[in-house]
Amino acid sequence: MIDTHIHADARSGEDFKQMYLAGIDCAITCSYYPYNIPQDIILLNHLNRILEFDTKRAMEYGIDLKVALGIHPTNSNINPEIIFDNLKQWIESEQIVAIGEIGLEDLTDNEIEIFKEQLNIASETNSKVIIHTPRKNKLEVLKVILDIIPQHIDENQAVIDHINPQVIENVIDTDCMLGLTVQPQKMDRFEAISILDKYGFDRFLLNSDISNKPSDPLSVPKTIRELARQGYKNSEIEKVSFKNAQKFFKL
Ligand SMILES: [Zn+2]
């Protein structure tokens, strides 16, 4: 199984152990710095920590940790140039599988400018992007994101993440991949399954988004097992268990 969006830096080795035992072989960890950032160098250190330290830490517990780096919208109050330069190098050296998570949260000018530039970098380097949508004002912010994406990048290169039953109709006609985050306070596994049941399994990626917020490290295996218990076909379950992620991120 692949958990397609986690924040490994905020979690313990015990979580990785449980995830591995429950059948997760691979996860994609995304950047998000949960504190104030007084300087760009602090964010750069955070991103280097994920790349060099958390990957090794997860590997000790059996998890192949892939990395997505970028400037999370809530970290947009910095001079982004040093991060942009590093992003290009990380992509070139194939140290990251995507730029992420990026996106919009409060629709500030800084956020929008940094989001657009990261889409441009992804487009120029033919990279994938993982795009965050917020808990608050999700539909309003999603509409702005949907307007911006095609002006900067091919929709086939983007995952729009944290999609739920309230906004699925707004994204189902795009060419983007869609992330289903099964997390306390966001969406439970039965809601995720209701989306898969209605729209099919081809376009979706499953994830736990485990972070410093209330999280369940086992939400992906629990969803996969619930799909099996309810009798969905193995060939369909495999798509959201690992095949879609393998194909999309070229893992
Ligand atoms: Zn996240």
Cα 208 to ligand 1 centroid, rounded to whole Å: 9
Please check whether residue 15 is in contact with residue 218, taking contact to mean a CB–CB distance below 8 angstroms: no
Cα 139 to ligand 1 centroid, rounded to whole Å: 18
Sorting pLDDT into bands at 50, 70 and 90, what band is 111? very high
Map residue 17 onto helix, strand or coil.
helix
Please check whether residue 31 is in contact with residue 100, taking contact to mean a CB–CB distance below 8 angstroms: yes
* Dihedral Cα 110, 114, 117, 123, nearest 10 deg: -140
Quote the pTM value: 0.96
Position 153 scores a pLDDT of 98
Instruction: Delimit the domains of the chain by residue range.
Output: 2-249
Q: Is the pLDDT of residue 214 over 80?
A: yes
Instruction: Please report which residue ranges of the chain form alpha helices under DSSP H.
Output: 13-21, 40-49, 55-60, 81-92, 109-124, 138-152, 168-171, 189-199, 219-229, 234-238, 244-249
Sorting pLDDT into bands at 50, 70 and 90, what band is 250? very high
Distance CA 184, CA 26 (A): 22
Cα 152 to ligand 1 centroid, rounded to whole Å: 22
Is the C-alpha dihedral spanning 28, 33, 145, 216 positive or negative?
positive
Q: Which residues crowd ion ligand 1, with CB under 5 Å?
A: 209
Cα 212 to ligand 1 centroid, rounded to whole Å: 10
Cα 6 to ligand 1 centroid, rounded to whole Å: 6
How far, CA to CA in Å, does 70 sit from each of 36, 93, 220, 221?
Answer: 16, 15, 24, 27
Cα 219 to ligand 1 centroid, rounded to whole Å: 14
- Average model confidence (pLDDT) for the chain? 96
Cα 183 to ligand 1 centroid, rounded to whole Å: 11
Q: Domain 2-249: what homologous superfamily? A: Metal-dependent hydrolases (3.20.20.140)
Cα 82 to ligand 1 centroid, rounded to whole Å: 22
Q: Convert the pLDDT of each residue in 13-23 to its tens digit.
A: 999 999 999 99
| Closest-CA residue to 179 (of 230, 250, 249, 109) | 249
Cα 102 to ligand 1 centroid, rounded to whole Å: 9
Distance CA 11, CA 217 (A): 9
Q: Convert the pLDDT of each residue in 165-194 to its tens digit.
A: 999 999 999 999 999 999 998 899 999 999
Cα 101 to ligand 1 centroid, rounded to whole Å: 6
Cα 173 to ligand 1 centroid, rounded to whole Å: 24
Cα 206 to ligand 1 centroid, rounded to whole Å: 12
Cα 65 to ligand 1 centroid, rounded to whole Å: 15
Q: Convert the pLDDT of each residue in 30-41 to its tens digit.
A: 999 888 787 899
Please check whether residue 134 is in contact with residue 164, taking contact to mean a CB–CB distance below 8 angstroms: no
Cα 30 to ligand 1 centroid, rounded to whole Å: 6
Cα 5 to ligand 1 centroid, rounded to whole Å: 6
Cα 231 to ligand 1 centroid, rounded to whole Å: 30
Please tell me the number of Cα atoms within 13 Å of 44 on its side-chain side.
Answer: 15
